[in-house]
Structure formats: structure tokens, C-alpha cells
């Protein structure tokens, strides 16, 4: 018993907390199933590693600041036939992230752009990659606040460090010159060093107006699109798919005049 307590204390002192807690149970199981010493040790350490992996994934998930935790398996590809599921499955291998390539989802609001971006992020987090999610509006607001507080350079690392940076909802906020330069700097500094998944309701021809500067927009797009996969989604609003499938009208039929 003294030796067992000592072994448990040693495991804990080495940081093997799960192994320390499960030592008694694993010993009983190994004795009951007549495991060899090597089997016993392998099972104990495997359980420790699995728990470490689980905690690490959960930590990465919290730090990613995802808006939800919907996976690709929850996406209804039959509702958006413009999306090639085989292409999404290929992107789900995360080879694009290994090559530091970008991924851009274009299309009108509510067609599933964010869901697909988050679904790929969930796969990346599970595989051990780091991810950070932000909308463009939140990104700009954060950089403004950081500049006012004199910590812009320190805060900048938050957006450069992750293997995948998701920038959602590009197109809802028109940027001024300073904001456009921040956006350009971020894309430039991540160029060939980390992947960006970006969603936008604006086509690239509109980005000159979006960034309030055609030259900056051209330079930014040159870097963003050099190594990029662009997926153009066309279809009805994904959020209302269940209502649409049951035949519920979201707008009055054309032959019924609206109330005056």
C-alpha cells in the first residue's frame, strides 16, 4: 500500500495527474485481465495521453472564439447544390492549411458561409491546429482600441499566431484609410505564413469601394488570392431552409398585393 501511494505521488509530481488518479483502477483491471507489465503501463499512459489531448483540444476550442460549434456533418449540402461537397471534403483534409493557402467563401447573406468556415475550423482544432475567429467589424474595433491603449503591436500577435485565421462578414463595414491599411497589413503579414478563411457578401470588383482605396484593395487581393480557393455560393437563405422545405412562404406570393 505504501509503495502504491508512493507511485501515485510520483506520477502526480511528474504531471501525470490522470494516471495518478486512475492508477488503482488500472491495476485492478490489469490483474483481473492478466495483463503483462508492459500492457498495464501502455494502458495507463495511453489514458493519460488521451485526457491531455482532450484538454488541449478544449483549450484550443475556447481560445478560437468560434460563434458556434457546428461541424461539416451538420451542413445540408442538398439545400445548397451550388456547393461541391467533394471540394469541401478535400478542404476538410486541411491540406490547404498545411500549404498556408487561403479559403474564401463568397455569396449573399445566410447561405451557409460561416457554417462552412466554422466546420473546417472544428476539423482543424481536432487535428491540433490553432484557430482564431473574428468578424471584420470586431477585428477593426479591437485594433482601434489596442492603438488607443498603446498595445497595438502586442495585440497584433493574436491575429498572426494561429494556423488559421477566420475573418467573417467582410463587406458589411466600409473601411476608412487607416482601417484598410490594417486589413492590408494583416493579409500581407500572414501571406505564405498562415491560412485565412474569409467570408464576404461582396464580389472582388466591389472591394475598391469597401476599402475606400482601389490601390490598397488591388494590393490586398493580390496577396489574398495568390494561393486561394474561392467558393461562390448561390442559393436561398440557409437559416430558413427548414421553413422553405415545408413550403412555408417567407414573402407574399407575387399575385397577392401587399396590404396598403
Residues 192-203 have pLDDT tens digits of 999 999 999 999
State which residues form the domain around 49.
Answer: 2-60
Average pLDDT of the segment spanning 161-187: 96
Question: Which of 35, 60, 85 finishes a domain?
Answer: 60
Q: Is the pLDDT of residue 251 over 70?
A: no
Task: Tell me how many domains the chain contains.
Answer: 2
Q: Is residue 66 part of a domain?
A: no
Looking at residue 203, its pLDDT comes to 92
Residues 108-167 have pLDDT tens digits of 998 999 999 999 999 999 999 999 999 999 999 999 999 999 999 999 999 999 999 999
Higher pLDDT, 176 or 51: 176
Higher pLDDT, 58 or 256: 58
What is the 3-class SS of the chain, one letter each residue? CHHHHHHHHHHHHCCCHHHHHHHHHHHHHHHHCCCCHHHHHHHHHHHHHHHHHHHHHHHHHHHHCCCCCCCHHHCCHHHCCCCCHHHHHHHCCCHHHHCCCEEEEECCCCCCHHHHHHHHHHHHHHCCCCEEEEEHHHHHHHHHHHHHCCCHHHHHHHHHCCCEEEEEEECCCCCCHHHHHHHHHHHHHHCCCCEEEEEECCCHHHHHHHCCCHHHHHHHHHHHHHCEEEEECCCCCHHHHHHHHCCCCCCCCCCCCCCC
Q: Is the pLDDT of residue 223 over 80?
A: yes
Looking at residue 19, its pLDDT comes to 77
**Whether residues 93 and 53 fall in one domain:** no
**Whether residues 20 and 78 fall in one domain:** no
Amino acid at each position: 500500500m505504501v509503495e502504491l501511494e508512493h507511485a501515485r505521488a510520483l506520477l502526480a509530481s511528474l504531471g501525470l495527474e490522470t494516471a495518478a488518479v486512475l492508477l488503482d483502477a488500472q491495476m485492478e483491471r490489469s490483474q483481473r485481465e492478466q495483463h503483462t507489465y508492459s500492457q498495464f503501463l501502455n494502458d495507463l499512459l495511453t489514458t493519460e495521453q488521451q485526457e491531455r489531448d482532450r484538454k488541449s483540444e478544449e483549450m484550443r476550442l475556447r481560445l478560437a472564439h468560434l460563434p458556434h460549434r457546428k461541424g461539416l456533418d451538420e451542413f445540408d449540402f442538398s439545400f445548397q447544390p451550388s456547393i461541391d461537397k467533394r471540394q469541401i471534403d478535400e478542404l476538410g483534409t486541411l491540406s490547404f492549411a498545411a500549404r498556408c493557402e487561403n479559403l474564401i467563401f463568397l455569396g449573399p447573406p445566410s447561405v451557409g458561409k460561416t457554417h462552412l468556415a466554422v466546420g473546417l475550423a472544428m476539423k482543424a482544432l481536432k487535428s491540433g491546429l490553432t484557430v482564431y475567429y473574428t468578424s471584420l467589424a470586431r477585428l477593426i474595433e479591437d485594433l482601434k482600441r489596442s492603438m488607443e491603449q498603446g498595445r497595438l503591436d502586442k495585440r497584433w500577435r493574436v491575429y498572426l499566431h494561429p494556423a488559421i485565421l477566420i475573418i467573417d462578414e467582410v463587406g458589411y463595414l466600409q473601411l476608412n484609410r487607416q482601417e484598410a491599411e490594417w486589413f492590408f497589413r494583416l493579409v500581407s503579414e500572414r501571406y505564405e505564413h498562415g491560412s485565412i478563411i474569409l467570408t464576404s457578401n461582396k464580389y472582388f470588383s466591389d472591394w475598391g469601394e469597401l476599402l475606400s482605396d482601389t490601390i490598397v484593395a488591388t494590393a490586398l487581393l493580390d496577396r489574398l488570392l495568390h494561393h486561394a480557393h474561392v467558393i461562390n455560393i448561390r442559393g436561398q437563405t440557409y437559416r430558413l431552409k427548414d421553413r422553405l422545405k415545408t413550403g412555408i412562404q417567407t414573402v407574399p406570393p407575387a399575385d397577392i398585393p401587399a396590404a396598403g
